Amino acid sequence: MILLDRVTKTYNKNLGPALDRVSLHVEPNEFVIIVGQSGAGKSTLLKLLTREERPTSGKIIVGGIDYDKLRDRDIPLLRRKIGTVFQDFKLLPNRTVFENIAFALEIVGVSTKEINNTVPKVLDIVNLKGKEKRMPMELSGGERQRVAIARAIVRQPKVLIADEPTGNLDPKHAWDVIKVLEKVNKYGTTVLLTTHNQDIVNRLKRRVVTIEHGRIASDRARSNYTANITAASSSTITSTTTITK
Amino acid sequence: MKAKITTFSRIIRTGMVNFVRNLWLAIAAMAIMIITLTIILFSVIVNATFNNTVQQITSKIDVSVFLKDSVTPKQTQTFLQQLKQLPAVQSVQYLSKNAALQQYESQNAGNTQLLQAIDETNNPLPATVIIKPKDLNQIDQIRDFVDAPASAQLQSAPASDSGDLRTAITKITHATNILRRVGTGAVIVFAVISVLIIFNTIQMAIFNRRDELQIMRLLGASTGYIRGPFVVETIIYGVLSAIVSVLIINATFVTASSSLQATSFGLLDISYSQSFFESHYWALLTIQLALGIFIGAASSVIATRRYLKFKTPKR
């Protein structure tokens, strides 16, 4: 589902690479946790996946889309296929919870009827039923993050990228958010989660990729996940397709 | 297709909502736009009025040639043909002796004494050729031809032209040209200022909402979907400003004709201006709308460009 092949990203030649020949393979429906200190290159990795940044060298393929063949005007189409959750939520402040989630569907031209049909279902998944008309300012951090997750999954992306979604939350709310991510993963979405939180990593018992100084320091499968990983790693993505409208 | 219509209507609706939400910003931008469009409209009308004035005076200019009674019809025909072939000549009118008499009689219909002195058997009036020049400044070429010996021998008296009027007209034309240039300059300056201010206004609006734009971008909104509402908003500015500018000019004419009781200020024939405005009302309104929409749309497209670039420079 996600394939990085010797990806290097250098922002400033004098400072050395932020990512140094990182290769990573994530299978469909996997739940991968990326850990590492601030500045290790976690955010750079995710920004490369959402095409906020271009790699200096190396190959990236997500969901069959070869980023080398991606034109600028296709970037919106790529981002519609990837759900993204940010540490600072990035909700539209002047819109209600419902409108925030609906916006993700509006920009792809979904009919109003379908929006009214879909959004409540997603709100149900993230346990926010009854708060449709609240403004983001009126919600707690955990609730806001769940709105952001709802917005990210409402288009049913194959990949969900969550960049420190619990970074601004207290432990209880953080765990609520993680539980939603697990639920989303259970429904068939590949989840890529970065976190600082050791407790979450230990409780989740999922594959953990550690990044240090722009390199992958370790890539361990936790718990019963080991068997799946070794089986999956033997297959590689061979065909690439360009995205169509 | 259906999705496109849905998207299009959403862009329009968002633009309208944003217009209402940013009303004060909108008023500021529109004020400048209204001034610009009003000046443009005003100068168009003034220009048309000056042209009309010059044209009216020019039409009174002609050269009259008086033919000897002895000139044969064949000679007359040749002379008229030669005149018509001159590049400077607009039209040639031939008045026979009888026609000249009739014209004289109708011009002096009240004066019985004068009329008694003249009758058809005793007609002192020569056959006359009235030549109108295409352009005021070409009158000399006509005179040259008329005064040449070949032409002069046919004439009973030296040809006459409206020479005094000519100097007056030259002055008027000169003044009009200067005014026109000043007007064009003012229009250009105001148009540029207007575009800059509208541009700035929209940049401010975008700057206030740059986070929102960034979020839209991250969620995969297309450039058109983000830019569309801004363009719609500024098109509304343009349409409203165009209508207001036409209304301002309209109100000016109503005041000018009713309270000033004047039909002209020197060269500026207000009654003509008003009739020009009224007869070209829809054309002028259309031009204003087109200009307003163009200025608005162009400035918003340019202003949003910077914020919509993908920050993905080539490796």
Chain A residues closer than 8 Å to B310 by CB: 51, 72, 75
Predicted pLDDT of residue B5 = 87
To 5 degrees, how large is the angle CA B276–CA B282–CA B284?
A: 65
Asked if A52 lies within 8 A of B6 by C-beta distance, the reply is: no
Question: Is B273:B49 a contact under the CB 8 Å cutoff?
Answer: yes
Nearest to A84 among B10, B212, B218 (CB): B218
- Pairing, β A159-163 against β A190-195: parallel
Most confident of the ranges A177-181, A194-198, B43-47: A177-181
Asked if A111 lies within 8 A of B3 by C-beta distance, the reply is: yes
Q: What is the mean pLDDT of residues B88-100?
A: 82
Predicted pLDDT of residue B235 = 92
Surface-to-core class of residue A208, CB atoms within 10 Å of its CB (0-12 exposed, 13-18 middle, 19+ buried): buried
Q: Tell me the nearest-neighbour CA distance from A200 into chain B, angstroms.
A: 27
Residue with tokens 């010059």: B54
Q: What is the mean pLDDT of residues B154-158?
A: 77
Question: Is B173:B274 a contact under the CB 8 Å cutoff?
Answer: no
Distance CA A150, CA A132 (A): 12
Asked if A110 lies within 8 A of B3 by C-beta distance, the reply is: yes
The residue with greater pLDDT, A97 or B134, is A97
Q: What is the mean pLDDT of residues B19-34?
A: 86
Q: What are the tens digits of pLDDT across the range A83-119?
A: 999 888 899 988 899 999 999 999 888 899 999 999 9
Task: With cut-offs at 50, 70 and 90, classify the pLDDT of residue A243.
Answer: very low
Strand blocks (E) in B74-115: 89-95
Nearest chain B Cα to A50, which residue? Answer: B218
Task: With cut-offs at 50, 70 and 90, classify the pLDDT of residue B268.
Answer: low
Beta-carbon contacts of B121 under 8 Å, excluding residues fewer than 6 positions away, are none
Q: What is the mean pLDDT of residues A152-167?
A: 90
Largest CA distance in chain B: 104
Chain A residues closer than 8 Å to B220 by CB: 75-80, 107-108
The residue with greater pLDDT, A32 or B153, is A32
Predicted ipTM > 0.85: no
- Count of Cβ atoms closer than 10 Å to residue A158 Cβ: 17
Asked if A77 lies within 8 A of B218 by C-beta distance, the reply is: no
> Hey, what domains does chain A have and what are their CATH numbers?
2-87+157-233 (3.40.50.300)
Beta-carbon contacts of B301 under 8 Å, excluding residues fewer than 6 positions away, are B227, B231
Most confident of the ranges A177-191, B48-62, B198-212: A177-191
- Across all residues in chain A, what is the average pLDDT? 85
Distance CA B242, CA B194 (A): 13
Q: What are the tens digits of pLDDT across the range B51-71?
A: 787 777 777 777 888 888 888
Nearest to A92 among B3, B212, B311 (CB): B212
The residue with greater pLDDT, A98 or B313, is A98
**A72 near B CB under 8 A:** yes
Predicted pLDDT of residue B162 = 65
Asked if A111 lies within 8 A of B7 by C-beta distance, the reply is: no
Strand order in the sheet with A57-62: A19-26, A2-9, A57-62, A65-66
Q: Tell me the nearest-neighbour CA distance from A92 into chain B, angstroms.
A: 6
Q: Is B159 helix (H, G, I), strand (E, B) or coil?
A: strand
Is pLDDT of A238 > 50? no
Distance CA A146, CA A31 (A): 18
Predicted pLDDT of residue A170 = 84
Q: What is the CATH number of domain B62-161?
A: 3.30.70.3040
Asked if A76 lies within 8 A of B315 by C-beta distance, the reply is: no
Domain ranges of chain B: 2-57+168-308, 62-161
